[in-house]
Amino acid sequence: MASVRLRGWALCTVSLINSAFVFITGADFIRFISFRAIYHNITGDTTLCQDSIPWSVALQDSSVLWCLFVDLGLLALFIIQHSLLAWSPVKQTLQSVLGALNRTAYCFTTALALQIIIHYWQPVTGAPCLWSVRHAPWSIWFPLLCFSLHFLCWAIICSIFMIFDYPELLGIKQVYYDCLGLGDPMSHKSPRAQRLLSHLRHPVCIELGVVLWLLPALSLDRLLLAGTLSTYLALAHSLDKQDLAYLCVHVNHKLQLFAEPHKGSADTSDQKEK
């Protein structure tokens, strides 16, 4: 009995520490992918690109090519990690080895891959920008507009994760259910919910697309980052009409619960009595 209790405490500790690491990585990723790029323009920093250098010269510069090579390798590392661990044979093997910590390990390696990208990303400063808003008054107003839209998109992304059962996404729920002997929390979801999650595990495509592309200046390395992640997100999902219909019903139900919590509790009680 004591060993079982000790095991439960150990699993919970690992899961909670990992969740803190994931949240910290999420904050670092927001700063890296969104606000740091806008900050360069708001402060008047012009080191993002060199418009005076012709493209024919920039694309033959060894320093530019090396930066792109390193950045492409970092993106490949993230894509391989994110896809390999989600591949069914690997996923089943890890499930048999790690048990309830399988999802926790997936989130940890994802956060670790993002941290590697954040810390080792090589900005391309020796090439022109694909676009750059530098003329008044748009040099001030457009970065502020981008900042506002980015803030809105990240707020929507956080809200979506709240709706999509973030404890299960982070692996906390798996550990909790294992300690109570309830099995995999995914097995308690309806078949329609399981089908939706298998097609849409990352429900942030549109919002992430906005923060990837909507910038006052688009450098060559940012083009590589935005293009690669956008393509990966587009290929990773296979929604159909049945998924969208279920998603709309689920979101509307959540919104009704937030708007009228007392009524939502009463409806839940009525459903249980039925």
Nearest to 35 by CA among 155, 122, 143: 143
Please name the helix (run of DSSP H) or strand (run of DSSP E) that holds residue 131, with its range, or none.
strand 131-132
Which pLDDT does position 22 carry in this prediction?
A: 93
Question: Considering all CA atoms of the chain, what is the largest pairwise distance in Å, rounded to the nearest integer?
Answer: 73
Tally the domains of the chain.
Answer: 1
Asked whether residue 196 is assigned to any structural domain, the reply reads no
d(CA 218, CA 59): 16
Asked whether residue 114 is assigned to any structural domain, the reply reads yes
Asked whether residue 265 is assigned to any structural domain, the reply reads no
Kindly state the average pLDDT of the residues 239-253.
59
In the predicted model, what is the mean pLDDT of the chain?
80
Where does the pLDDT of residue 272 fall: very low under 50, low under 70, confident under 90, or very high at 90 and above?
very low
Q: Is the pLDDT of residue 84 over 60?
A: yes
Range of the domain at 140: 2-185+204-239
Asked whether residue 271 is assigned to any structural domain, the reply reads no
Asked whether residue 262 is assigned to any structural domain, the reply reads no
pTM of the model: 0.80
Asked whether residue 267 is assigned to any structural domain, the reply reads no
Asked whether residue 263 is assigned to any structural domain, the reply reads no
Q: Is the pLDDT of residue 244 over 80?
A: no
Share of the chain above pLDDT 90, in %: 27
d(CA 177, CA 172): 9
Where does the pLDDT of residue 273 fall: very low under 50, low under 70, confident under 90, or very high at 90 and above?
very low
Q: Is the pLDDT of residue 49 over 90?
A: no
Which residues are bridge partners to 131 per DSSP? 218
Q: Which residue has the tokens 């390999």?
A: 84
Where does the pLDDT of residue 37 fall: very low under 50, low under 70, confident under 90, or very high at 90 and above?
confident
d(CA 196, CA 189): 11
Cα distance from N-terminal residue to C-terminal residue, the chain: 38
Asked whether residue 249 is assigned to any structural domain, the reply reads no
